[in-house]
Structure 1
Amino acid sequence: MKDIRLQEVFALFYRLFLAFFFYQIARFLFWFFNRELIPIDSLSDYFSISYHGTAFDTTAILYVNSLFILLSLLPLVINTKKYYQKFLFYLYFITNGIAYGMNFGDFIYYRFSQARLTTAALNVAKHEDNIGKVFMVSVLEHPFVILWFIILMIFWIFLYKKVKVQEQKPVIKWKYFVFSVLNLCIVAALVVGGIRGDFKHSTRPINLVDANRHVKNPLQANVVLNSVFSFFRTMNTNNFKEVHFVNEKFIEVNIKPYKIYPRENIEPKPNVVIFIIESFGKEYSGAFNKSTKIKDFVSYTPFFDSLATHSLIATNAFANGRQSIHGMSSVLAGIPSLKDAFTSSPYSNQKIQSIVSVSNEMGYDTSFFHGAPNGSMGFLGFGNILGFKHYYGKTEYNNDADFDGMWGIWDEPFFQYFAKTLNTKKSPFMATMFSVSSHHPFKIPEKYKGKFKKGPLEIHEPIGYTDFALKKFFETAKKMPWYQNTIFVVVADHTNQIAYPEYEKAMNRFAIPILFYSPNPKYQLKGEITEPAQQMDIYPTLADLMGYNKKIRSWGRSLVSEKKEDYLIVNSSGVEQFMIGNYIYLFDGKDFTGIYDIKDLGYENNLLGKVKTPEITFGEQKSKAWYQDYMDRVINRKLN
C-alpha cells in the first residue's frame, strides 16, 4: 500500500476540500456584508447560488494550487519526509492565503465597484498615487474584514494539520513510480477539466458571464463568482482602456450614440421573432449573391432565397464579431466584439439597453430559445443580463431522442417546438431563436441523408438542413393566429467555411445575410439595402418598427428610417476595422495600421501614408471617436 501512495492522495484531496469549504465561507461573508446591494430572497436561492458557485471555485482553487498538486504527487521518494511536508505546508498557505485575501478584499471593493475584482482594478490603481492610503483607510473603516480573515486562516491551518502524512519509504520502487505516474495523469485530467469548468470538448471554458446562468437577478452573479476566478479569467485579456482622442461634442454630432425614431402609435404592436442562425454566412445564399458575379455560384438555401423575394434584405451586411456569443451581443444589444470580446470582459455584467429591455419596457413577453444544454455558449448568462423573461433550452425541450449527440436538439424539431411554444404566448411577444445544427462536425439527421446538396464544403449539407428546418417552421407558424402581425428577422451569428475566393477576402470573412420579413404589408418590409449594414443595425431597426418613440443607445442605425444616416461598420480581426464612407480603416487602439478603398475588401492596396484627403482625415477622426465612445461606455457602465 505504501507504493501506491494512498495516504498522500487522500491528504491531497483533503487539503483541496478544505479550500472549497473556506471558499464557501468567504462567499457567504461576501454576500452578508453586501446583502443590501445583492438581494437574495430565500435560503433555497442562496443554496442554489452557492452550489453553482462551486464550478467557479474549482477553477480558482486549481489555478492557485496547481504547483502544490504537482509537488504533492511527483515521485521524489522524499515526499513523506517531514521537511518536504513542511515545505508543502508553507507553499499551500502562502498561495491560498494570498488568494483567500483577494476574496476578503472584495467585501469592501464591491461596494465601490459593484463588480467582482478583475484585472481592470489594476488599470485603475496604476493611475492613482494614493492607493496605499485608500487601502489603509478602508481597512481601518472595516476592521472585521481583517479579523474574519485571521480567524478563518487560523481555523484553516488547524484543520489542515488534522490530517498528517506519515513518513514512508517505497518498498518496490518500480511500483511506486508506476502508481505515481498514474496518479499524476488522473489528477492532471481532473485539473484541466476543473480549470475549464467543464469536461465537454464542445464548450469553451467558463468565464464571468456564465455566472448569470444560475441567478434570477444579474446582481446575484457576483455571489456565484469568487474574486480569484474573476481576476485570473481576466488576466491578459483586458484591452479595454479609456482613451481621449476627440471632445464629447464631436462624438455627439458624428457618432450619435443616442438616437430616436419617432413614429405614430402602432397598434396592435407587432410580435418580433429573431432567428440567429449558426454559421449562416452570406456565401451560402443565392438571394444575397446576385451582384457578386461569382462564376458557377451554387446556393444551399432554397427556402431562404424564396423568402428573400418577399422581404427587406441587406445584401452588403457584416457580422460584428467572430463567435456566437459576439453575434448575440451585436444583434440584440448592438455591442460588437473588438480585439477583446465585451461578453467575456470584466464589464459584461452591467445594465444594458437592448431590444430585450426595450421590449420589456413596452410590455412584451421576451424569451430566448437555444437547443443546446442550458447555458451553452454563455447564452443563458448573457440572456439574463439582457433581461429575457424566459429561457428555453435542451432541458425545457425534454426529449433527448432529438439530441444530435454534440451540440443540442436538431434544428427541425427544435424549430417546431419554438413555433408551438410561441403559440402559447400572449401577444405582443419578442422571441429569439439561436440555431445549433449548422455547426462542426457538420452532421444532419440520419433520416435526411442524401436530401440536401453536399457541395465542396462540409457545412453545405447542414446549411441545407437548417434552411429546411426554417421552411418547416414557417409552414407551421403561418397557421397560427400570431403570425400575420409578426416581424421576422433572420441573420447569421458569424461566417464559417469558405468555398469562393470572394469570401476569402478579409472583410468578406464577416459577410452575412440580414433579412426582415413580415406577412403584414403595413411594415413595408420589401426591397434591397445595398449600402453597408451590420448586426448592430438590427436593434435600432426593430425599435423603430415597434414604435419605441424614446431615445435608444445605439451605434447602429435603423435600416427603415426615412432620415438619412451615415453608416459606420465595425468589427475586429485582431485590429479594429471601421467601414466609413469610401474607405476601410484598420486601427489598433493607438494608431492606424491600414486604410483601404471600400471596394478593396481583400486589403491589397494599403493607402496609409500614400493618400491623404479631407474624407480620410475625417474618417480617421470618426474611427477614433467611435472607439473612444465604446471604451467609455463599456468601462464606465453607460450601456443603459
Structure 2
Amino acid sequence: MTSSSTALSQQRISLSSHLLFSAASIVLWLLLLTALRGLLLVYNHEMIGSSTNADLLEAFSNGIRFDLRLIVYVSIPLVLSLVIPWLMNQRRLLVAWLSLTAAISILLGIIELDFYREFHQRLNSLVFQYLNEDPATVISMLWHGFPVITLLSTWLACTLIMYALFSWAERKTRSYRTVHTGYNYVMQGIAFSICLVICVVAARGTLRQGPPLRWGDAYTTHSMFANHLGLNPVLSLYDAAKTTFSEHRDNIWKATLAAETAQEITRELVLTEHDQLLDADRAVIRRINSPVAQTQLPVRNVVVILMESFAGRYVGALGSQDQITPEFDALSKEGLLFTRFFANGTHTHQGMFASMACFPNLPAFEYLMQTPEGGHQFSGLPQLLSARDFQDAYVYNGDFSWDNQQGFFSNQGMTHFVGRNEYVNPVVSDPTWGVSDQDMFDRSILELNALKDDQPFYALLQTLSNHTPYALPDVLPVEPVTGHGSLDLHLTAMRYSDWALGEFFKQAKQQPWYNDTLFVVLGDHGFGTPEQMTEMDLYRFHVPMLLLAPGIQQQLGSENATVASQVDMVPTIMGRLGGDVQHQCWGRDLLTLPADDQGFAIIKPSGSDQTVALIKGDRVLIKPKDVEPRMWTYQLGANPESAPAAAHSDDAQWLQQLNAYIQSATSSLLDNTAGVQDSPGQ
C-alpha cells in the first residue's frame, strides 16, 4: 500500500465539517417543509376565506415548531455521528438517509394537497381506513379521481432536487483531518451534549412545563384553515397511525363525571314528557315513547333516501342561490324541511349508523360498523320496524362489502340487499363505485313494486354518484356547474344526483304505494367549501332532512328550525307511524318537543380528529380532546356567518352535557346495553 493511500485511509471528516453539514441539512429541511406548507396554501387558496395575513403568518410560525420536531427525528443519525466516528465519515450514507426521508415527506405533502381539499383535514386515520378497504376499489378511486401521473412526476422531480441539494451541501462542507492528529473527544462530547439539549428542546416544541407540543398548539387563531396549515403531515399521519393501530378502546374519551351523574344529565337532555324510562339500572335511555296523536300521519311505509355529500350549503331550499338542487327545492315545497339539521359525522360510514341505527358518532368508534362493538344490537329502524313485520329493501349503487354495510345491517335485521352486481345494462357502470344514481333509483322503483301489497315495508336507498371519482353518464342530463373553481365537478355531480332524485319521485308518484309512504330525504354528510364556518367547519355537517307524505304540510308545517342530527331521524319516523314504541335512540322525535326546546346536535368529524361539538340554537360549543373548549355563534341560510361568542352563564352546563352524553353513550356501547332490550347475558 502506498504512503498516499495510507494517508487517505486515515483521513476522517472533521468535527467542524460535520456540524456545518448538519446545519446546512437542517436549513434545507426547513425550507422543504415550509415550501410544502406554502404549496398546501396555494393549492387550497380558495379556503383562505376570511383568514387574515396575520393568521397565515402565525400558521407558518407555528409550523416551524412542528417542522423542527420532525427534523429532530430525521437528524438522529447526524447527532449520533458525533459519538460514532465511523458514522460521521459515511457522508454518502447520510445523504441517502436525508434524501429518503425527504422523499417520504414530499410524497405525504403532495398526497395531502387533494386530501385536504376533499376532507378539510390534514392526513389522518382516513388514510388507513381507505387502505383497509378493498384495494381494487381504492386504487380505482385514486386513479380515476386524481391526477396520479402528474402528482407522482412532481414527487420524483422534487425528490431529485432535494437529493441534489443535500449532495451539494455535503460537497461544500466536506473537509478532513487525519487520524494521527487524534480526535478531540472532549470537543466531541461537548458538541454532542449541546446538540442533544437543542434536540430535546426542539422535539418538545415548547419550553412550558407539562406535555410537549401537541396538535392543539396549532389552534391559535379563529381561522380553521390557518390552524390546520400550522400542522405537519408526517407528524399528523404518525399520530393517526398510533391511534389507528392501537387498541381502539385506548382512544376513548376518559370519563370526567361519575356514571350516575352522567346518566342523569343525559336523561335530562334526551328524554321528553312523552317518554317513560325503562331499565334505569341497566340502560341509560331505554324508554317507551308514546307518540302524540295529532302529529301522526296516515302512512304505512317508510322510504329513507340517504344522499351522498348532499351539503346544505348548496341546497337552494336552505338558502343557496347556485341552482344546484332544483328538484330537491321543488320537493321541499311539498314537504316538511328541517333547516338546522346536521350529520353526526363527515363520512358516509357515520351517516349510515347514526341515521339507521340511531347511535351517535363517538371518539374511538368512528368506524363502528367495522369494530366488534358494531355487532351489538341497537335501536334503529331495522329493529323497530322488523318487530312490526315490515318488509325491507336496501338498494345501493356500490358494493355492500365496503364499510361492512351488509354485515352490519344484516345483523341489525335487514334481509334484502341490491348492490352493484345485481344491475342489468346500467346507464353507467363505473369501475370504482358501481352504477349511477339514476340506475339506483330506477332499480328502487322495481324493488318497491315487487314487495307484497298486503304488508308494509321500509327501504333504504343510498346514492353514490356525488363521490369522487363521480359515476356520471357521458352525456349529462343537466348543465355542468361552472364558476366554483375546484368544486365545479363536485357540484356538477351533486346537481346530477338531484336530477336523479327528481326522476325517482316522478316515477314514485305514479305507484300505488306512494300515498301510503313517508319519504325521508337527507344527506349523509356535507363537504368542504371555500368558507369555513366556525372551528368545527359546520358546512361539512350541515345537511337537509325533508319529510314527504300526503298532507304533511297542512298537519305539521313546511319548515322546522329545531337543531337536530341524524340520530333524531328514527324517533321522528316512529312518531309519524303511531303506536307506543320501546327503543333506546340517542335522539328524539323532533315534532313533539316543547315549544321552548331549541333542540341539540352532538357531532364529530371522521378520522382521528377527536374534536366534538354541541350545537343548540345559534351557538356551538367546540371541544377538542385535551384542549379548552370554545363557544361560537353561527347563522346558516342565505346570509351565513359565524364568530367567536362571548362567555355565557350556561357555558359550563353545555360542556357538562357534552361530556355526559359522550360518556354515557360510550358506556352503553361498551356494556352492550344500547339495544331495544337487554342483550343476551346482560
Q: 3-state SS of the aligned residue for 2:417?
A: strand
Which of residues 272, 278, 299 in structure 1 aligns to 2:323?
299
Shift of 1:300: 0.7
The 3 A distance-change label for structure 1 pair 318 and 193 is: closer
1:91-170 to structure 2, matched below 5 A, reads none
2:246 is aligned with 1:235? yes
Sequence identity, in percent? Answer: 23
Q: Corresponding residue for 1:580?
A: 616
1:350-499 to structure 2, matched below 5 A, reads 350-399=376-425, 402-426=428-452, 427-448=455-476, 451-456=479-484, 457=487, 458-499=489-530
Shift of 1:605: 2.4
Which of residues 542, 549, 570 in structure 1 aligns to 2:573?
542
The whole-number CA distance in structure 1 between the counterparts of 2:573 and 2:654 is 28
Shift of 1:547: 1.3
Shift of 1:501: 5.9
Q: 3-state SS of the aligned residue for 2:581?
A: coil
Q: Corresponding residue for 1:517?
A: 548
Shift of 1:450: 6.1
One-letter amino acid matched to 1:200? A
One-letter amino acid matched to 2:332? A
The 3 A distance-change label for structure 1 pair 471 and 504 is: farther
Shift of 1:255: 3.6
2:602 is aligned with 1:570? yes
Aligned CA-pair RMSD: 3.3
- Is the contact between residue 453 and residue 460 of structure 1 (CA under 8 Å) also seen in structure 2? yes
The 3 A distance-change label for structure 1 pair 346 and 486 is: same
The whole-number CA distance in structure 2 between the counterparts of 1:301 and 1:429 is 28
* Structure (1 or 2) with the larger CA radius of gyration: 2
- Is the contact between residue 285 and residue 305 of structure 1 (CA under 8 Å) also seen in structure 2? yes
Shift of 1:310: 1.0
- Is the contact between residue 428 and residue 471 of structure 2 (CA under 8 Å) also seen in structure 1? no
Q: 3-state SS of the aligned residue for 1:384?
A: helix
Q: 3-state SS of the aligned residue for 2:136?
A: coil
2:290 is aligned with 1:261? yes
Q: Corresponding residue for 2:87?
A: none
The whole-number CA distance in structure 1 between the counterparts of 2:439 and 2:634 is 42
- Is the contact between residue 339 and residue 559 of structure 2 (CA under 8 Å) also seen in structure 1? yes
Q: Corresponding residue for 1:338?
A: 362
One-letter amino acid matched to 1:431? A
Q: 3-state SS of the aligned residue for 2:450?
A: coil
Which of residues 252, 276, 279 in structure 1 aligns to 2:267?
252
The whole-number CA distance in structure 2 between the counterparts of 1:267 and 1:438 is 32
The 3 A distance-change label for structure 1 pair 596 and 255 is: same
The whole-number CA distance in structure 2 between the counterparts of 1:440 and 1:466 is 13
Shift of 1:380: 1.4
Which of residues 654, 669, 672 in structure 2 aligns to 1:634?
669
The whole-number CA distance in structure 1 between the counterparts of 2:673 and 2:350 is 19
Q: 3-state SS of the aligned residue for 2:674?
A: coil
Q: 3-state SS of the aligned residue for 1:445?
A: coil
Shift of 1:382: 1.9
The whole-number CA distance in structure 2 between the counterparts of 1:425 and 1:203 is 37
TM-score for both structures, normalised by structure 2? 0.56
The 3 A distance-change label for structure 1 pair 232 and 577 is: closer
Give unmatched runs, 5+ long, in structure 2: 1-127, 142-241, 272-284, 676-682
Q: Corresponding residue for 1:595?
A: 631
Shift of 1:582: 5.6
The whole-number CA distance in structure 1 between the counterparts of 2:587 and 2:519 is 19
- Is the contact between residue 241 and residue 635 of structure 1 (CA under 8 Å) also seen in structure 2? no
The 3 A distance-change label for structure 1 pair 504 and 254 is: closer
Q: Corresponding residue for 1:506?
A: 537
One-letter amino acid matched to 2:252? F
Shift of 1:596: 2.7
Q: Corresponding residue for 2:306?
A: 276
The whole-number CA distance in structure 2 between the counterparts of 1:336 and 1:437 is 26
Deviates more, 1:310-319 or 1:565-574: 565-574
The whole-number CA distance in structure 2 between the counterparts of 1:382 and 1:557 is 23
The 3 A distance-change label for structure 1 pair 278 and 589 is: same
The whole-number CA distance in structure 2 between the counterparts of 1:390 and 1:463 is 27
Shift of 1:603: 6.9
Give unmatched runs, 5+ long, in structure 1: 1-191, 206-230, 291-296
- Is the contact between residue 507 and residue 602 of structure 1 (CA under 8 Å) also seen in structure 2? no
One-letter amino acid matched to 1:561? T
The whole-number CA distance in structure 1 between the counterparts of 2:129 and 2:648 is 53
- Is the contact between residue 234 and residue 345 of structure 1 (CA under 8 Å) also seen in structure 2? no
One-letter amino acid matched to 2:255? V
Q: 3-state SS of the aligned residue for 1:639?
A: coil
Which of residues 310, 333, 352 in structure 2 aligns to 1:328?
352
